Amino acid sequence: MKHSEEQLFKAVDEILFYLWDPLDCKEIPAARDEYRSYVPKVLDYLTSDNNEEKIAKYLAGLEINSMGRSVASQNSIEIARILIEAKDWCFG
């Protein structure tokens, strides 16, 4: 894995855990890897030049279909923008 790819992986992992955090588990140290399984797919979206709406839709779908929430959180589009900014920063 290239250094920039490794940086992006870490950034996505941090963003999902500390900012997206739909299960509100960022204060639980034992839950640090709670969203790590979603990182590869998010990376696929980011490196495939998908727009923020597609990324936000994927995140919202995870909340409803994988996490059993009845409604997705309202910050998916904001998180998608932050993820794209992280990609731009890593690959500058």
pTM comes to 0.93
Structure-block tokens of residue 88: 């731009």
Contact 72, 78 (CB under 8 A): no
Phi-psi region of 89 (alpha: psi -120 to 50; beta: other; left: phi over 0): alpha
pLDDT tens per residue, range 19-49: 999 999 999 999 999 999 999 999 999 989 7
Burial-class residue 25 by CB neighbours within 10 Å (0-12, 13-18, 19+).
middle
The boundaries of the domain holding residue 8 are 3-91
Judged against a pLDDT cut of 90, whether residue 9 lies above it is answered with: yes
Query: How far apart, in Å, are the Cα atoms of 19 and each of 1, 2, 3, 92?
Result: 25, 25, 23, 22
Total tally of structural domains belonging to the chain: 1
